Amino acid sequence: MNYDKVEDTFFEAFEGKYVRALITGPTEKIVKSAAYDSTSTPSAVIGRVEGGVESFLDKDKTPDGRYGAVVQYWLGDDDTEKFAFELSYRLRQDILVKPFTRIFDYSDVDSDENIEMMDIVGHCGDGWEWIVEEYGRKMINVPIAVPDFQIEEKFKINDGIMGGNFWYLCETPEAVLTAGDAIIDAIMEVEGATAPFGVCSAASKPETNYPEIGPTTNHYYCPSLKDRLKDESKVPENVNYIPEIVINAMDVDSMFKALKAGIDAAIDVDGVIGISAGNFGGKLGDKIYNLLDVLK
């Protein structure tokens, strides 16, 4: 692979906590709907839970012999009580309401921290819920109008890494979409990694004139502002689009594999001029990684 298009720059990452879950259902359509709905709002930067779809599983790979989706839910600090509260919205509003769904803990690492699901999800049964032992797990059975929703009694809280990223600089809109599809497909082949924003068209920066609404546009890299910013603009010549791919992962190794898989998928697409990364002088994340080191 020729990496001449890759800029010698760095990206920033930071530690986070995550729950890794398995959603199962009777059809691929229901499982995909639950997985994407429950991970659809990347919001760790404003102190809320964000998620990503890691992969989809065939029926012979799940505890109950049904279609499955492996998902991750992340929080970027140590407030586990807040994590549980925010996570409950995702599970209750986006998965419990889907017909015939179940959720299992899918963590494969040892952890001393757990989230008890009875208080934040199980009590949706209004006191009528009960515990069953099925699929080799302790499951909460929540009686609902399309019987019945089940969720594993406890989920482990794991330590991981968030915010790894790269930009792929494009000349054409076709390159944005073609390379984007290839990148996301490649990342979903990497165990333990997710791209919570998918293809993100709105790179942001820590500084803002409007802190009440959170991160705002990284104006230096907005192609539509190139003429107005003149010499301040950092948009390279012939670049008209700068999509970003953000990676959260179980560990640094998984993050690097996902970043490399994504870059490899994009680098030779027609209209992709270069590869770079978002960085802010250490203001966003305390872990600094060189983009070229990822590709070795």
Name the domain boundary from 108, 123, 158.
Answer: 158
What's the whole-number mean pLDDT along residues 96-109?
A: 95
Number of domains in the chain: 2
Q: Tell me, what's the pLDDT at 204?
A: 87
Residue 4 lies inside a defined structural domain of this protein? no
Write out pLDDT tens, residues 9-30: 999 999 999 999 999 999 999 9
What is the reported pLDDT for 215?
A: 83
9 within some domain: no
The set of residues, in sequence order, having a beta carbon less than 8 Å from that of 221 and lying 6+ positions away, is 167, 203, 234, 235, 242
Residues 146-172: tens digit of each pLDDT: 999 999 999 999 999 999 999 999 999
22 and 153 in a common domain? yes
pLDDT, mean over the chain: 94
| pLDDT reported for residue 280 | 79
pLDDT for 200 = 95
Q: Collect all residues with Cβ–Cβ distance below 8 Å to 213 and sequence separation of at least 6.
A: none
**pLDDT of 108:** 81
Average pLDDT of the residues in 227-239:
96
The span from the CA of 98 to the CA of 94, in Å, is: 7
Distance CA 78, CA 16 (A): 8
The pLDDT value recorded for residue 283 is 66
In this predicted structure, the answer to whether residue 2 has a pLDDT above a threshold of 90 is no
Beta strands in the chain (DSSP E): 10-25, 50-57, 67-75, 102-105, 114-116, 130-134, 137-142, 149-152, 154-156, 158-170, 193-194, 204-205, 216-217, 244-249, 272-276, 287-290
Q: What residue numbers bound the domain in which 225 lies? A: 162-295
- The pLDDT score that the predictor gives to residue 46 is 66
pLDDT above 80 (res 233): yes
C-alpha–C-alpha distance, residues 67 and 47, integer Å: 32
User: Are residues 231 and 260 both part of a single domain?
Assistant: yes
| Model pTM score | 0.93
Q: Based on the fold, state whether residues 152 and 19 are members of the same structural domain.
A: yes
Q: Does one domain contain both 140 and 104?
A: yes
The pLDDT confidence band at residue 45, using thresholds 50, 70 and 90, is low
Residues 42 and 135 in one domain: yes
Instruction: List the beta bridge partners of residue 204.
Output: 217
Residue 99: CATH number of its domain: 3.30.70.520
Q: Are residues 170 and 136 in the same domain?
A: no
Q: Are residues 151 and 35 in the same domain?
A: yes
Domain assignment present for residue 278? The answer is yes
Whole-number Å distance between alpha carbons of 79 and 231:
43
Q: How far apart are CA 200 and CA 203, in angstroms?
A: 7
What band does 110 get if pLDDT is binned at 50, 70 and 90?
confident
Domain stops at, among 158, 188, 217:
158
- Of 139, 158, 177, which one is at a domain's C-terminal end? 158
Same domain (yes/no): 180, 142: no
Residue (of 107, 111, 117) closest to 21 by Cα position: 107
208 and 108 in one domain? no
User: What's the rounded Cα separation, in Å, for the pair 72 and 280?
Assistant: 26
DSSP string, 153-214: SEEE-EEEEEEEEEEEEESSHHHHHHHHHHHHHHHTTSTTEE-TTSSB---EES--S-GGG-
Q: Kindly state the average pLDDT of the residues 96-119.
A: 94
Do 54 and 149 sit in the same domain of this protein?
yes
d(CA 62, CA 135): 10
Task: State yes or no: pLDDT of 78 exceeds 90.
Answer: no
Residue 213: its pLDDT value, please?
A: 83
What percent of the chain stands above pLDDT 90? 84
CA distance 165 to 194: 11
The answer to whether position 7 is within a domain reads no
**Among 123-132, 207-216, 269-278, the least confident range:** 207-216
Least trusted range by pLDDT, from 19-23, 76-80, 122-126: 76-80
Strand partners, 149: 142
Stretch 69-96: mean pLDDT: 93
The pLDDT of residue 182 is above 80: yes
113, 171: one domain:
no
